[in-house]
Structure 1
Amino acid sequence: MTMKREVQVRKLIAWLALATTTLAFASAASAGETIDRVTSKKAMVVATNSGWPPQSFLDDSNQLVGFDIDVSKEIARRLGVEVSFDTPDWATMTGGHWQGRYDLGVGSVTPTKARAKVIDFEGIYYYSPYVYVVHKDSPAKSVADLNGKIIGVETATTSEDFIRRQLEIDAPGLPPIEYKLEPGEIRTFADSMLPFDDLRLGDGVRLNAVIAPEQTAQNAIKNGYPLRVLEGGYAFREPLVVIAEKGDAEWNAKIGGILDEMKKDGTLAKLTTKWYGKDYSAD
């Protein structure tokens, strides 16, 4: 090896050592960032939805209420901190890269393989069956009757993934997804209630059916929407998780532990029954 070549090699080794040290310091700096921020401020910011009853919605006093809001408040109580809420769009909440804007996401998020790349899953806190919803005057009696029809779903959700046959839930022990429906047209909507607003106009006026969580569908029916759930089983069933920015193992363990406690002491069963009339906390 020539002298010049030896000098170049030494410079490269020195640069690699410096880069490795820099990365190590960067990782150390980011480790525990969320839990440190929440602990120092004695407050946390939760990302959630503002138009998804009964999970989370604005009441007559313009205050956020709902199942996810109660869960968030209980997590904050057990942490000994105050809680405030922000309502980004769905893609922002589930897309990660929050840059410290939110400390948790409590928005009934499904743990998919794609989302696992950009956010951390803190733990399952309840389960949700998805159903086929039709107008009360629809002649449809089975899923087969919806083949070739216009189906509405909320965009960027598992219902859209399902209708497009792209759903991959990242959770153990779930049965394989069965795709029985061949839609004629798929229409997507910006929030969970907009598909029901179109469906309530009548069968085939704008939509023939909506795929949505059972809880959301029953809430719409309870509030006077002229709809019914198609009998014959669920479209699919999914676990729902609390989410966080990637990379804070200590925060993940803390929140995961709290969720385990809330399941064991019956808090989650109580809250799902309060808001849905049924215990959805158990697998």
Structure 2
Amino acid sequence: MLKAILSCALAAGIAIAAAALPSVAAADELETVKAAGEFKFANSGAYPPFSFVDDTNQVVGFDVDIGNEIAKRLGVKGVAVSTAWDGIIAGLLAGKYDSIIGSMTITAEREKAVDFVGPYYRSGRGIFVATDSAVKSLDDLKDKTIGVTLGETHEKWARERGGWEIRTYKGLPELFLELKSGRVDAIVVDSIPVMVAMKDNGEKVRKLETSDIDGGAVNIGIAIRKGNPDLKAAMQKALDEMMADGTYEAISMKWIGADIR
């Protein structure tokens, strides 16, 4: 019940922030970014290979490289900021960073609060269980325990579908640990990072064959505050040029092993 209340509170917070938005930014922020000499972009830091903490305690990944490259093309320094996913939009609206480059699904609800640059890649929903799990289908998960990341669109989907207990976590590393320990029976997440973890880290999980979930490919975008057409246009131009000159593909191959645009 508490998790449901928190999820509803997050949605309500976005709606309230969106209603108050006209007073947030009086001038386009492109010049502010250039004057500051840096472009701050947020991610969860807990979503490998898109954003995660490496052995040197630095936040790295696909999203970080994309953010730094956009900053470079804006003529400033990129600064990655890691924050909890369930408060990431609130942090943007509060001015704690200039953008969210954190693998955020573009949804109608989020578009009420922020503008999106992109999409910069596409992804889809997957339901994963331990390799040796007896679960073979969605029906087998009835009354079981499902793990999701708090604030993601997958949490909303899991709650709307119902029929199972839901536990929320900060990110993919926690979800893997909970699945391995048996504290959850399945996790509902974007497929790409899990498939990469299976290939690179030997994660012993299995994707359920599901044709009846709302898990078709979704657009992933870069969020900025509303009322900033110049910043939006400059970021879109940088992204388009990256995709045209091979830079995007190189970043994607480095972290994902495939071109995911």
1:47 aligned to which of 42, 51, 73: 42
Which residue does the alignment assign to 1:136? 131
Which residue does the alignment assign to 1:113? 108
Shift of the 248–60 alpha-carbon distance from structure 1 to 2, 3 Å rule, reads same
Which residue does the alignment assign to 2:6? none
1:73 counterpart = 2:68: yes
- How many residue pairs match? The answer is 237
Contact 2:179/2:185 (8 A) holds in 1:
yes
Give the partner amino acid of 2:248.
Answer: L
* 3-state SS, counterpart of residue 126 of structure 1: strand
Give the partner amino acid of 1:193.
Answer: P
Task: Output the CA distance in 1 between the equivalents of 2:167 and 2:185.
Answer: 11
Tell me the alpha carbon deviations over residues 124-167 of structure 1, each in whole angstroms, 9 at most, x when there is no partner.
100112211001111222333323321111111011011123xx
1:259 counterpart = 2:239: yes
1:213 counterpart = 2:190: yes
* 3-state SS, counterpart of residue 217 of structure 1: helix
Contact 2:92/2:100 (8 A) holds in 1:
no
Contact 1:200/1:225 (8 A) holds in 2:
no
TM-score normalised over the length of structure 1 = 0.76
Give the partner amino acid of 2:187.
Answer: V
For residue 232 of structure 1, report the CA deviation from its aligned partner: 4.3
Tell me the alpha carbon deviations over residues 231-278 of structure 1, each in whole angstroms, 9 at most, x when there is no partner.
345751211101111211111111122222222333333322221122
Identity level (%):
36
1:223 counterpart = 2:201: yes
Which residue does the alignment assign to 1:191? 171
For residue 189 of structure 1, report the CA deviation from its aligned partner: 1.2
Give the partner amino acid of 2:41.
Answer: V
* 3-state SS, counterpart of residue 225 of structure 1: coil
Give the number of the structure whose alpha-carbon radius of gyration is greater. Answer: 1
* 3-state SS, counterpart of residue 270 of structure 1: helix
* 3-state SS, counterpart of residue 122 of structure 2: strand
* 3-state SS, counterpart of residue 140 of structure 1: coil
For residue 197 of structure 1, report the CA deviation from its aligned partner: 0.7
2:51 aligned to which of 53, 56, 59: 56
Is there any run of 5+ residues in structure 2 with no aligned partner, and where? Answer: 1-21
Which residue does the alignment assign to 1:104? 99
* 3-state SS, counterpart of residue 156 of structure 1: coil
* 3-state SS, counterpart of residue 44 of structure 1: strand
Is there any run of 5+ residues in structure 1 with no aligned partner, and where? Answer: 1-25, 166-178
Contact 1:119/1:245 (8 A) holds in 2:
yes
Post-superposition, which runs of at least 4 consecutive aligned residues in structure 1 deviate over 4 A?
232-235
Considering only aligned residues, what root-mean-square deviation do their CA atoms show, in Å? 2.2
Contact 2:146/2:165 (8 A) holds in 1:
yes
Task: Output the CA distance in 2 between the equivalents of 1:150 and 1:59.
Answer: 30
For residue 56 of structure 1, report the CA deviation from its aligned partner: 0.6
Contact 2:92/2:99 (8 A) holds in 1:
no
Tell me the alpha carbon deviations over residues 28-82 of structure 1, each in whole angstroms, 9 at most, x when there is no partner.
x7121x1111111221111122221100111101111100011011101111111
1:245 counterpart = 2:222: no
Contact 1:46/1:83 (8 A) holds in 2:
yes
Contact 1:95/1:115 (8 A) holds in 2:
no
